[in-house]
Amino acid sequence: MNEATPLLERLTGLRERVARLVEHRSADDPTAGDPMRGLYLPEEAIWRLLSLPPATPDTVDAAYATHAVHAGREADGADGSDGADGSNAAGASHTAGPVGAVDRLQRLAQRLRLSELDTGILLIALAPDLDRTFEALYGYLNDDVSRRRATTGLALDLSGVPAHAAVGRARFHASAPLVTLGLLVVEEPERPFLSRALRVPERVVAHLLGDDTTEAALDGTVRPLPDAGTRALSAAGSDGLVPLLAARLAAGPCTVYLREHREGDGLSCATAALGAAGIGALHLTPGAGDRPQGERPHGDHTPRQDIPYAEVLREARLSGRAVVVTSLPERPQELIRALSASDVTVLLAGTRPYDPHWCDTGAPGGEPLVLDAPRQRAGNLEAWTAALGGSPEAGGGTEPGFDLTPVVAAYRLGHEGISRAARAALDLAAFDGTPLSAAHVRLAARQQSASGLEQHSRRIRPDVTWDDLVLPEKPLAQLHELAVRSRNRERVLGDWRLSAGGGRGRGVLGLFAGGSGTGKTLSAEVVAAELGLDLYVVQLSSIVDKYVGETEKNLERIFTEADRTDAVLLFDEADAVFGKRSEVKDAHDRYANMESAYLLQRLESFDGIALLTTNLRGNIDEAFTRRLDLVIDFPFPDQPQRLALWRHSLVHVPCVDDIDPSACARDFELAGGSIRSAVVTAAYAAAGRGEPVTNADLLAGAQREYRKAGRLVLDDVDW
């Protein structure tokens, strides 16, 4: 059989349906036999259309039910599908349209404060999109069978307004409510005024028929802002600004600029306030640009050139929602001017201070209300619990099977970030086929902290625990204290108001001082693992620049990214950057001191977690030391600690039964890093022979580390 045969058979069935429809419509059509039918409309045809009963839910259902009988039979014979079901579904949709349209039209008119004349004109222009008979009727009244839409003159006639009345003609002006609100389009401006066609945009028609799908032109630019929910708002609502802003938003449309300390603060505040006020919102990111997110460096807020701001405002008006704008372009004047409207609430969020020149004098939306957005709280336990399904509203009803408080304490994610992280954590747990665990939550939360730190640092995904540290009690206790400070800084410095003021941040700064190989970097990795954060090791070669001012710029980029990222920042060999200031004897000393002065000021406002390591504590400027929360000294290990380090390094290594590293620990004064290197050397030697590690292998490894350090090695050690 030819491959085209099934398609031709379907066309045969369609032809039969068309024939039945022609027969049905021509049964009482006085122009059915007229050879000029379709080229003009005689008066008897118009009266016939006017004599037809109006389209009501009952008549529509009946018509579709009658057609469904024939369509269903044809569909059963053609492809075996249930045509009657499809027709009935279409009929139900068509039925729901007019009923919903009347209610929605009234609500829209009330919300936008349209006059009775404007509402009537909108309905006149809308009629051909809802009932086909109005096409013929309008063609007859327009004295042109091809002009099947209402014209300005026809709308005035049907409204009972004289064509020469200024009040009527003003309804179609470019500044008239229907036009400026995007509800009506006056087409064909080259025609005389009374013959210009009126069209209602498809999105408005769809909304009036009950379809709330966002316009396709806004895809990728605007999306609904998720509702924060009651439980998720409780922590945010504890800040005095949120309830005050919610009350202002509930009072009526306004324009607000939220100044952010950290990117995301404004969106979190806006989400909380809108949720408390019971107002939905659309989220617009004009600075996201045309390129995919991965192809744009962070901080690139080049505005998109194709954002239909008029459609954004129309979408907000149709749904009665506000517009929240983040990622503002470098020059937001055009954006603010385009979104300025007295009937739509617009909330703008940005890190830059507000500039009065951004707003035109006398703009419809007026001067914005400028507020400082409260900082996002770390460890918003109630928001996390709700997002993970700990409340019936979230679709769950069970608390996580582990203590969530220490797991999420270090994450400064807003409501949207928490929602994404929670969904990702649940997906990871489902993928693993296991109950949700702390590891799932931490991995998902780290994925939300994408940053540009990789440009100047090396990321380490921590894979160590406290068991991997062999340290004396004092530095170990201080490391635990460092983790406690990192988890509770919001409560102590924020809620208990123990921040020193003066614009100081809520960061945690620690200095690890000790000889090479004493465990400083490993300790930083353990702290990051305890907090569930990634560790970023700053590469000094990528930030130190010979040109004046460039080093400070590179450092500023790092601190800015660290402020907006949940991560631990590690400055290894920090004395290269945080060294002591010297007496100014030449220009080099002056500029070196400027770098130190910049770092001192920047550490004051830092909000993240930064760790510094140095082999020589005395090289660090005392001014830096004063700003540190903890200074932890890593002593050189004594013999018992060296033995513990040897044994810890051999835990996963196959060894002979009589292995005993006691002699190596006694005779070779090596730090932890050197001991590990010695064990690696011994393991390679044993692997090459295909045998377990022996005492001789350990001795050879220890001797090699001694030689590397330039120390004397006796070849005839008595074992």
CA 260 to each of CA 326, 353, 581: distance values in angstroms, whole numbers, following the listed order: 10, 9, 33
- Tokens found for residue 413: 């994610």
Q: Is the dihedral of CA 646, 648, 651, 652 positive or negative?
A: negative
Cβ atoms of 713 and 703 within 8 Å: the answer is yes
Percent of the chain with pLDDT over 90: 45
Residue 655 is predicted with a pLDDT of 96
Note the pLDDT of residue 609.
93
Which amino acid appears at position 470 of this protein? Answer: V
Q: Among the residues of 282-348, which ranges form H helices?
A: 309-319, 333-339
**Residue 210 predicted with pLDDT over 70:** yes
Contact 456, 538 (CB under 8 A): yes
Q: Looking at per-residue confidence, does 448 or 199 come out higher?
A: 199
Q: What is the pLDDT of residue 289?
A: 46
Q: Which fold has domain 216-372?
A: Rossmann fold (3.40.50)
Cβ pair 382, 422 in contact under 8 A: no
Q: Are strands 609-614 and 457-460 parallel, antiparallel or unpaired?
A: unpaired
* Cβ atoms 709, 678 nearer than 8 A: no
Mean pLDDT (whole number) for 609-635: 88
Checking if the pLDDT of 255 tops 90, the result is yes
- Judged on CB neighbours under 10 Å (0-12, 13-18, 19+), 222 is buried
pTM, two decimals, is 0.75
Q: Are 624 and 600 in contact (CB under 8 A)?
A: yes
Residue 67 has pLDDT above 70, yes or no: no
Residue 146 tokens, joined: 């091809």
CATH class of 466-634: alpha beta
Nearest CA-CA partner of 428 in 448, 412, 405, 451: 448
Amino acid at 96: A
Distance CA 104, CA 126 (A): 13
Quote the CA–CA distance of 121 and 177 in Å, as a whole number.
Answer: 12
The whole-number pLDDT of residue 419 equals 87
Q: Is the pLDDT of residue 84 over 50?
A: no
- Write out the H or E segment, with its range, that includes residue 659: none
Contact between 232 and 344 (Cβ < 8 Å): no
Q: Residue 239: what pLDDT?
A: 59
Q: With 50 as the cut, is the pLDDT of residue 75 above it?
A: no
Please give the Cα distance from 293 to 291 (Å, whole number): 6
Rounded CA-CA distance 467/615 in Å is 24
User: Does the pLDDT value for residue 539 go beyond 90?
Assistant: no
Region 143-167: mean pLDDT is 90
pLDDT of residue 582: 58
Cα(502)–Cα(265) distance, rounded to whole angstroms?
20
Q: How far apart are CA 360 and CA 379, in angstroms?
A: 41
Contacts with 388 (C-beta within 8 Å, 6 or more apart), sequence order? 394, 396, 400, 404, 422, 425, 426, 436, 441
* All structural domains of the chain with their residue ranges: 38-208, 216-372, 381-448, 466-634, 639-708
Class of domain 639-708: mainly alpha
Domains 216-372 and 639-708 share a fold: no
Mean pLDDT, residues 177-203 taken together: 95
Structure tokens at 601: 């000021």
User: Looking at residue 146, what is its pLDDT?
Assistant: 86
Residues 6 or more apart in contact with residue 19 via CB below 8 angstroms = none
pLDDT beyond 60 at 473: yes
Cα–Cα distance for residue pair 47/378, rounded to 1 Å? 72
pLDDT value of residue 305:
55
Average pLDDT, integer, range 37-49:
69
Amino acid at residue number 435: P
The backbone torsions φ and ψ at residue 259, rounded to the nearest 5 degrees and listed phi first, read -80, 125
Which range is most confident: 63-77, 105-119, 219-233, 533-547? 105-119
Question: How far apart (Å, rounded) are the C-alpha atoms in residues 271 and 242?
Answer: 10
Directed axis angle between helix 265-277 and helix 241-251, to 10°? 60
The full DSSP string for 345-413 is -EEEEESSPP-GGGS-TT-TT-SPEEEEPPPPPS--HHHHHHHTT-SGGGT-----SS-HHHHHTT---
Mean pLDDT of 3-18: 69
> Measured between alpha carbons, how far is 13 from 20 in angstroms, rounded to an integer?
11
- What are φ and ψ of residue 143, in 5° steps? 60, 35
| The pLDDT value given to residue 452 | 72
Residue 489's closest CA among 592, 397, 411?
411
633, 617 in Cβ contact below 8 A?
A: yes
Long-range contact set of residues 49-56: C-beta below 8 Å, sequence gap at least 24: 49/133, 49/136, 49/137, 50/137, 52/133, 55/98, 55/130, 55/131, 56/98
Q: Which of 374-378, 466-470, 709-713 reaches the highest mean pLDDT?
A: 466-470
pLDDT of 122 > 90? The answer is: yes
